[in-house]
Amino acid sequence: MFEFFKKKPKEKEPPQLLDLDGNLISEGDEVISQRYDLGKCTVELEGLQFFYVSQDSGKKISYVKMIDAITGNQKVKKVVK
């Protein structure tokens, strides 16, 4: 009888990322990093976590390290083609 009230498990999704200007960042986008001297990076998704991979040095940084404390957005700027 109470089968209707059981909570369904939520499907896990990767977080929604926004750059400094509020633009949505998704996998495969090119961004310019404002931290760690990464320069131009591509956004990669592994499992449920995003990574910024530098095109120059090959460094790989998690999106967690790029969060701006004040706005909650990422410390990157999306390259608009």
CATH number assigned to the domain comprising residue 52: 2.30.30
Is residue 8 in a domain?
A: no
pLDDT of 52 higher than 60 = yes
Q: Range of 74's domain?
A: 14-78
* pLDDT at 3 (0 to 100): 66
Is residue 25 in a domain?
A: yes
CA distances (Å), 53 to each of 11, 12, 42, in order? 27, 23, 5
Q: Give the helix/strand (H/E) hosting 24.
A: strand 24-25
Is residue 59 in a domain?
A: yes
Is residue 21 in a domain?
A: yes
* pLDDT at 6 (0 to 100): 76
Tokens matching residue 65: 């390290």
The sign of the dihedral angle between the CA atoms of 25, 48, 69, 66 is negative
pLDDT of 2 higher than 80 = no
Question: Domains in the chain: how many in total?
Answer: 1
Is residue 23 in a domain?
A: yes
